Amino acid sequence: ILKTMAVEALTNSQLFESKQGGDITFMDMVDEQEPLGDSQIQKLFAGSAVLLTGGTGFLGKLVVEKLLRSCPDLKKIFLLARPKKNKDITKRLQEQFEDVLYDRLRKERPDFISKISIVEGDMGQPELGMCAEDRAKIMNEVDVIFHGAATVRFDEPLKTAVEINVRGTREMFKLARGCTKLKAFVHISTAYSNCPQTSIDEKFYDSPLPGEKLIDLVETMDEQTINNITPGLLGDFPNTYAYTKAVAENIVLEYSKGLPVALFRPAIVIGTAKEPVAGWIDNVYGPTGVVVGAAVGLLHVLNCNPKVIADLVPG
């Protein structure tokens, strides 16, 4: 082992020496060496059941694939999903797993689908729109929760954004409180949840409005009134997405006491760097849309600040 570590250190040293005076890209950080035994992450997930919300979204699809491929002893993944576009959740997930993203998984773990358990629910509904039987099953079996479901539309009406991003997060913590085997709860926020700040540290910031107060507001006011007061509520926040993700962090702060909780703030997530397939992406949001727009000739100019750095991370 010591010999291997010495070789790794030498290899890394040579890599960075060769890069002196040049750019170091994310591709230089990809470790292609075979792992030396099971990692701590694999050991954590061995025999564990995971509940994942947002599993049909871009980041969620990647999490599902990575867990199933890299953690062979994972017991089960519960995917919370809702019917959409006249398709039941089973049909939706069947189509999802036919994507090229899962080609490597199908080859290495051909029976992976047996570890997927679909739970019908809706983040925008009270108690997540789940039936009592499913709630009880999750509370008894789940060890790890990844909460990634959210509406990411910047122009989402505030009422809908609050119901999904804020109240939905509260409902997830209520569910987590009943989980008898919970080892970890990971809440996926965004690096832009506190964007009015000039710099952001790894800490909680004052919420623009207490989470419970905002939930009460959208539950008691009609939608037109909410739309009328939205600009005043947003203040320095650019859109309802960033605003509600900020308030959702207040929910995390208030409801996480006594629970093993981690708050994750990813920046702008773009296509995959290398695994399971290089360059995979399933949307044209953000910078991807800019590149596509320029490539097809629809976008000729872009209003930018050349002094700032775009915070992009590969999926």
What distances in angstroms separate CA 99 from CA 61, 94, 282, 283, 286, one per listed residue?
Answer: 10, 9, 10, 13, 22
pTM: 0.86
CATH 3.40.50.720 fits 37-282, yes or no: yes
CA distance 146 to 74: 14
What is the per-residue pLDDT across 99-129, written as a single tens digit (0 to 9) for each? 999 999 999 999 999 999 999 999 999 999 9
State the DSSP H helix or E strand holding residue 4, giving kind and residue range, or none if neither. Answer: helix 2-18
Average pLDDT (242-254) is 98
* pLDDT, position 166: 99
CA distance 120 to 127: 12
Report yes or no: 263 and 249 within 8 Å, Cβ to Cβ: yes
Does residue 164 carry a pLDDT above 60? Answer: yes
Mean pLDDT for all residues in the chain: 89
Q: Which two tokens stand for residue 238?
A: 């650019």
What is the per-residue pLDDT across 8-42, written as a single tens digit (0 to 9) for each? 444 444 444 444 445 556 556 555 565 566 789 99
Report yes or no: 64 and 134 within 8 Å, Cβ to Cβ: no
Closest CA to 146 of 72, 57, 209, 210: 57
Closest CA to 182 of 114, 262, 247, 248: 262
Which of residues 314 and 88 earns the better pLDDT score? 314
* Confidence bin at 310 (pLDDT 50/70/90): confident
Does residue 72 carry a pLDDT above 50? Answer: yes
* pLDDT, position 88: 80
Range list of β-strands (E), the chain: 49-53, 76-81, 116-120, 144-147, 184-188, 261-264, 268-270, 312-314
